[in-house]
Structure 1
């Protein structure tokens, strides 16, 4: 398995465990202690993600199988394009992770809820 394939597997497995299974212990297993967060609504470090998970759980977000529509890797960067259900609505996510020493080390994202009506007939995937 190439390093890029291994990085993709790390990102997919971590994302499913943390955000699909809502498993807080996955944060310590898959995230660097120096985790850098570029989403301005979440604090740096594993504790920021743990806090986000507690918020999702308290809002009633259910455990779910994440549907990964596109997964790409270049060097130490992995791009995930996925579907997620949150607050009774379907969302589309693009998450970008930098992998270092087998752990998620840095994160960027973009997200949007599925609109009730689309201006075109193209799928979001």
Structure 2
């Protein structure tokens, strides 16, 4: 496989996985994450099973995810999306960075920012 082929595969794996996750299939993460998955977000556990159990109870598990863009190469997939929960209709802007090795997610970083009032962002958040 060329790097371009791997990038397309990574992008599709992430898009398909996010679609299943957003539809309520938390277990898709067990298929996508390496058993020794490393999490870099404070307060979130590393390890596939610990992470999946944690995320299953987190607000993201029942949130609406509106994917804005996905950027991928042979090693990483980056997803920028708007996450809205019942408790927070304005939501948050999230950027997830997933390191991919042989079709599995091995590491994760994220940046989360509250979506401010529309008047504070004249060019839009997304």
Q: Secondary structure at the match of 1:17?
A: helix
What is the match of residue 88 of structure 1? 88
- TM-score normalised per structure 2: 0.82
Residues of 1 paired with 2:36 and 2:77: CA distance? 18
Cα-Cα RMSD: 2.1
Structure 1 contact 79–95 (Cα < 8 Å) conserved: yes
What is the match of residue 116 of structure 1? 117
- 1:40, distance to aligned residue in structure 2 (A): 1.1
- 1:50, distance to aligned residue in structure 2 (A): 2.1
Q: Secondary structure at the match of 2:120?
A: coil
Q: Deviations along 1:50-73, whole A, 9 cap, x unmatched?
A: 21222338xxx6364x32211111
Structure 1: which 4+ aligned runs deviate by more than 6 Å?
none
Residues of 2 paired with 1:63 and 1:121: CA distance? 26
Structure 1 contact 7–78 (Cα < 8 Å) conserved: yes
Structure 2 contact 10–73 (Cα < 8 Å) conserved: no
Aligned residues: 120
- TM-score normalised per structure 1: 0.82
Q: Which runs of 5+ in 2 are unaligned?
A: none
What is the match of residue 71 of structure 1? 70
Listed as ranges, the matches of 1:1-125 within 5 Å are: 2-18=5-21, 20-46=22-48, 47-56=50-59, 62=62, 64=64, 66-86=65-85, 87-89=87-89, 90-125=91-126
